[in-house]
Structures are given as structure tokens and as C-alpha cells.
């Protein structure tokens, strides 16, 4: 545990570990994405009620899951950054925000594109849709707050508190469809999934593909940031020499 965490906390090892991980992650990402897309768009049978319109699930559900997962990860990073003053945690927190916001936006728009033909409306102010919209605004508030604070230390601290306070929204999103009457349906993905296996496997592949994509983006942004911050360190020169 100690040696593993050492690898991720020291900038040099963090960079090198990411470098080793990236090709493997890219490989599995391409595999899961191509299986998910081909099986989801072509081989999966049409739904008995929604016909081929149900295929929107293959982008909507992974995007929604990642919107919440990225936020949760950022909140954990915020706690680590506040309590232990981990530099890497503050970086994970700030570098995750744009892609988290992009996933949330994607979930909202694809949900709307599904809602129009199925429900009969693009949007409704029910508890699930409203709480996800709040999540999107939380991402935007986090980024706006950070860009408004010039000094790095206060920026990391204040934005970390915002993330922790906003985390209360995550269980609300998750349980909104159980606590209140909503137009949005309950979860299809659970231990006993209420989605047929032929439709489920492409969905799981797409969720994996979205998660891996987030990892790929985060690791590369982390690498860029570490290189720049450590630019005067000899290990950065080693990296540059290897590349040229």
C-alpha cells in the first residue's frame, strides 16, 4: 500500500505510472467502445415498447453514471486535499471538472432527446431532472469559482469546500426516483437488472468505455500539469529527451 501510494503521490512516479498505464487503458477502451457501439446500435434487439428509440440508453446511462461518479471522485479528492494537503488530489479535483460537466450536459441532452418521443416532452421539472440540472450548475460554479480566485492555495481550499457541500446532491439524484413521484423511471441497472441480457451487455461495455475515457483524459491532463509544474526538475528533462 505504501509503495503503491508513493508511486502516485510523487510527481515523477505519477507521470511514469500514467505513461505505463495509458497504452493498456487505450487498448481496453477501444475494445469496449467498439463492442458497445456495434452491439448497441446493430445487434441488440429493439425494445418491445420503444422500438429502436431505446438505443439512446447506450449514451444516456453511461453519461449520467459518469456525471455522478466524476463528481463523487472530485469530492473525495477535495477531502484529501483539505485534510492531507495532497497536491495530486487538488489537481485531480480541478482537472476532472470540465469532463464531468461535459458528461452531465450529455446526460441532460440525450435524456431530452429520449423524453420527446417517449414521454411527449423535452423537459419536465421533476425531482430527477431538476437535481441533475443542479449537478451541472455545481460543476459550472466550481469552475467559475476557481477562475475567480487568483491565489492557488485559497483557490484549492475554497473550491474544495464547495465540492463537499455540493456532494449532498449526489444521494438526492440517486434516490429522487424513489423518494418522490417523478416522470423519470427507476433504475434499470441493479443486482437483478430489469433489462434483458442482450440489451444489458452493450450497456455495461459502454459504461466501461465512458469510465476508461475519463481515466485517459484525466491521466493525460495530470501528466501535462505535472510536467509544467515540475519543469525545472531533472526528471522532466529526461522525459523531454526521451521524446525527441
Scored b (16 or more CB within 10 A) or e, 17-48 reads ebeeeeeebeeebeebbebbbebbeeebeeee
At 123, give phi and psi (nearest 5°).
-150, 145
Tell me if 228 contacts other proteins by CB under 8 A: yes
| Number of Cα atoms under 13 Å in the Cβ half of residue 22 | 14
Tell me if 212 contacts other proteins by CB under 8 A: no
Tell me if 116 contacts other proteins by CB under 8 A: yes
Which residue number, 24 or 98, has a Cβ lying nearer to other proteins?
Answer: 98
Tell me if 50 contacts other proteins by CB under 8 A: yes
Q: Which of residues 59-98 bind other proteins (CB under 8 A)?
A: 59-60, 63, 79, 82-84, 98
- Choose which of 15, 35, 54, 71 interacts with other proteins (CB under 8 A): 54
Tell me if 145 contacts other proteins by CB under 8 A: no
Which residue number, 12 or 220, has a Cβ lying nearer to other proteins?
Answer: 220
Cα–Cα distance measured from residue 102 to residue 147, given in angstroms and rounded to the nearest whole number:
18
Tell me if 22 contacts other proteins by CB under 8 A: no
Tell me if 57 contacts other proteins by CB under 8 A: yes
**Residues that contact other proteins, how many (by CB under 8 A):** 79
Tell me if 43 contacts other proteins by CB under 8 A: yes
Tell me if 236 contacts other proteins by CB under 8 A: yes
Scored b (16 or more CB within 10 A) or e, 136-157 reads bebbeebbeebeeeeeeeebbb
Amino acid at each position: 500500500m505504501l509503495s503503491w501510494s508513493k508511486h502516485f503521490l510523487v510527481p515523477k512516479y505519477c507521470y511514469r505510472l500514467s505513461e505505463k498505464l495509458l497504452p493498456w487503458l487505450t487498448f481496453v477502451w477501444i475494445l469496449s467502445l467498439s463492442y458497445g457501439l456495434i452491439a448497441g446500435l446493430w445487434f441488440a434487439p429493439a425494445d418491445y415498447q420503444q422500438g429502436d428509440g431505446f438505443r439512446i440508453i447506450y449514451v444516456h446511462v453511461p453519461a449520467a453514471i459518469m456525471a455522478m461518479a466524476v463528481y463523487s471522485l472530485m469530492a473525495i479528492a477535495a477531502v484529501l486535499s483539505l485534510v492531507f494537503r495532497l497536491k495530486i488530489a487538488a489537481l485531480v479535483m480541478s482537472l476532472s471538472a470540465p469532463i464531468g460537466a461535459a458528461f452531465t450536459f450529455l446526460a441532460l441532452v440525450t435524456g431530452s432527446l429520449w423524453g420527446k418521443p417517449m414521454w411527449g416532452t423535452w423537459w419536465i421539472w421533476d425531482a430527477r431532472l431538476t437535481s441533475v440540472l443542479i449537478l451541472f450548475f455545481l460543476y459550472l460554479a466550481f469552475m467559475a469559482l476557481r477562475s475567480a480566485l487568483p491565489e492557488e492555495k485559497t483557490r484549492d481550499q475554497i473550491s474544495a469546500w464547495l465540492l463537499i457541500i455540493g456532494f449532498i446532491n449526489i444521494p438526492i439524484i440517486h434516490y429522487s426516483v424513489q423518494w418522490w413521484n417523478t416522470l423519470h423511471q427507476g433504475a434499470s441497472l441493479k443486482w437483478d437488472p430489469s433489462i434483458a441480457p442482450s440489451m444489458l451487455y452493450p450497456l455495461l461495455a459502454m459504461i466501461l468505455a465512458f469510465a476508461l475515457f475519463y481515466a485517459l483524459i484525466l491521466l493525460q491532463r495530470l501528466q501535462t500539469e505535472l510536467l509544467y509544474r515540475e519543469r525545472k526538475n531533472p526528471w522532466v528533462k529526461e522525459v523531454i529527451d526521451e521524446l525527441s
